[in-house]
Amino acid sequence: MALIAYLWIAFALNYVDRQMVYSMFPALKADLGIANTSLGLVGSIFAWTYTLSLPLAGRLADLWRRDAMVISSLILWSLATLGCGLADSLNSFLFWRGFMGLTESLYYPAALALIASHYAEAQRSRALGIHQSAQLVGVIIGGWYGGWAADHVGWRQAFFVAASLGIGYSAILKYGLREHRTPQASTQKHSGNISDLFRSKTYLALCLAFSCFCGIQWIFFAWFPTFLQERFSLSMTDSGWNATVFVQSSAIIGILAGGALADILRRRHPQARLYVAAAGVLVSAPFAYLTFSAASLNLARIFSCGFGLFAGLLATNAFSAAYDVIGEKNRGLAAGVLNMTGGISSGAMIYLAGIWKDTIGFAEMLFWMMLAAMLSAILLATASNRRVER
């Protein structure tokens, strides 16, 4: 598991660097003179550049050395983090956030394809699931660290420290990946066919289910603190704690358990990962709806735990399931396109939820999204017997 350990730390740093800014908004607003309406661009610029860059990043991961892409991405996004700390205006800060989105997009498809290439199919879901858990840890650390640093040492120093850690760790990562190098495309014939992605009805059904799931997940992550504040009159500190600790902790359990379960079931059922992923979407969606319909804080906590637990089944198996139906030569592209569909849905639903929350309301929005997600899960389950040639 040495490869997973090295990449786990890099992926956690990835999310610390991107997440900590959201806890610094008051300090950024005061120091850079950023209006409330422009603060949203700090997140949007990153999301747009990251999401739209993913297919290209995925294709490059199929053509270039994946270990080199991972290391280069870490160095480049660390430089972007440093740039954020040096920014002296809104435009400068937005430029570096956009550059961070572009450079971080290089990491995920390459890292997942690298893991899939070095672990046997019988271990793939567990390996990818352990790696995925770094995202949740990075979100928690980044959210806490950004706020703490802004209050105690200054927001610029927070970026400087994070950038230094990333650049320093790149040397350790290069050493750790030396035994896991992948050949450049120029040294071997590249036989992957991009059309395989669009010929596979199972892969397209997986993209649809993943898109529906991500739309729900990011309404949950982005707006759950606001829901708790408004419904139960919690402070920002209390709402932030209750909105993250229960769902993220249960999600880690779901990710680890879901990976082990899928790998065990796959010994007898080749499409087990697809079925477990579909089950994750099917069952987690009602818990999201129940969370935003809860009449008490304790019920909201319980239902959010249910959402996180079953969401973990999808999170740990989505990409390993894609690799079961898409050949090795297209693994980078498959991961990039799949992640892009989730990113587009996430960004759209976060925005629409902000528009509709005072008219339609969270509960009704989640009800209709729950139905769409459950239908997509059923479609994925019924399509999972159709595979491409590998």
212 lies in some domain: yes
DSSP structure string for 80-133: HHHHHHH--SHHHHHHHHHHHHHHHTTHHHHHHHHHHHHS-GGGHHHHHHHHHH
Same-domain check for residues 166 and 293: no
The structural domain count of the chain equals: 2
Q: Is 390's pLDDT higher than 50?
A: no
Helix pair angle (25-32, 155-176), 10° resolution: 120
Please identify, among 116, 150, 181, the residue that sits at the C-terminal boundary of a domain: 181
pLDDT in tens, 141-173: 887 788 788 888 888 999 999 999 999 999 999
| Domain limits for position 271 | 196-383
Residues 48 and 144 in one domain: yes
> Do 162 and 207 fall into the same domain?
no
SS3 360: coil
Is 114 a domain residue? yes
CATH number at residue 317: 1.20.1250.20
> Last residue of some domain: 146, 181, 216?
181
Mean pLDDT for the chain?
86
* pLDDT over threshold 80, residue 187: no
Q: What is the pLDDT of residues 242-294, one digit of tens each?
A: 877 898 889 989 998 998 999 899 888 888 999 999 999 999 999 999 999 99
284 in the same domain as 174: no
Is pLDDT above 60 for 389? no
Which of 181, 210, 228 is the endpoint of a domain? 181
CA-based angle 372:377:378, to the nearest 5?
100
pLDDT band, residue 100 (cuts 50/70/90): very high
Q: What is the mean pLDDT of residues 351-372?
A: 87
**Percent of the chain having pLDDT more than 70?**
92
> What is the pTM (predicted TM-score) of this model?
0.78
Q: Is residue 71 part of a domain?
A: yes
Residues 347 and 208 in one domain: yes
Q: What local confidence, expressed as pLDDT, does residue 181 receive? A: 66
- 226 and 131 within one domain: no
* Rounded CA separation 348/51 (Å): 12
Q: Is residue 302 part of a domain?
A: yes
Question: Based on the domain organization, do 177 and 292 belong to the same domain?
Answer: no
Asked, for residue 389, whether it belongs to a domain, the answer is no
Say whether both 129 and 61 belong to one domain: yes
Residues 21 and 150 placed together within one structural domain of the fold: yes
* Three-state secondary structure call for residue 383: helix
d(CA 34, CA 89): 8
Domain assignment present for residue 186? The answer is: no
Residues 291 and 323 in one domain: yes
Q: Which of 120, 122, 100, 131 is nearest to 9 (CA)?
A: 131
Question: Cα-atom radius of gyration of the chain, to the nearest Å?
Answer: 20
Q: Are residues 361 and 274 in the same domain?
A: yes
How many angstroms from the chain centroid is the CA of residue 172? 24
186 pLDDT above the threshold of 60: no
Q: Is residue 313 part of a domain?
A: yes
Residue 272 and residue 220 share a domain:
yes
> Which residue, 39, 19, 20, is CA-closest to 29?
39
Tell me whether residue 330 is exposed, middle or buried, using C-beta atoms within 10 angstroms of its C-beta: 0 to 12, 13 to 18, 19 or more: buried
- Residue 189 pLDDT grade (very low, low, confident, very high; cuts 50, 70, 90): very low
Report if residue 190 sits inside a domain: no
- pLDDT at 85 (0 to 100): 93
Tell me how crowded residue 336 is: count the other CB atoms within 10 A of its CB.
28
